[in-house]
Amino acid sequence: MARADLLDLEPGEELLAAARASFRGAAASSVGATFALGSARMRMRAFDAWHDAAIGAGFPFVPPDMVIAASDRRLLFGKPTFLGRTPSRFWSELDYAKVAQIVAVRHGLLTGVAFAFNHGAVIEVEAVRGRRLRQLVAVIDAHLPRT
């Protein structure tokens, strides 16, 4: 994505929470790729398969390792800065109204988060040591429209 396409916060928009995450299966593909030649290629193949399905389900364009930020108006997705901080500009956005439900589940060291869309699709992301991701889910859940 070209720099001109990056999204800024809107005037008066406030970031409420942010957390790092990766595509679902990132941890498994990284561990498996550690012991194989072409490990970066294997991880990118796993990401490409996940990303194609995610885009088809209505999830926004995201990098393999992402920052998900909840503002008072929308969800923002970007790439972590060099030092791992929340970016000041974002790659994509998602309206809260498109998400029916969000759930975080802890699996040992991993925390998985499922975004359930209004049309029925479910897309998952994950994080190792996901305390911040679970906190983010609570903020997002509070902003989802209730029917």
Domains of the chain in start order, with CATH, are: 14-143 (2.30.29)
pLDDT tens-digit profile of 93-139? Answer: 999 999 999 999 998 888 999 999 999 999 999 998 889 999 999 99
The model's pTM is 0.86
Which amino acid appears at position 93 of this protein? E
Q: Are strands 65-71 and 75-78 parallel, antiparallel or unpaired?
A: antiparallel
The answer to whether residues 95 and 83 touch, using CB atoms and an 8 Å cutoff, is no
Which amino acid appears at position 30 of this protein? S
Tell me the two tokens of residue 138: 């609570």
pLDDT tens-digit profile of 32-86? Answer: 445 555 577 878 888 999 999 999 999 999 999 999 999 999 999 999 888 878 8
Burial of 147 (0-12, 13-18, 19+ CB in 10 A): exposed
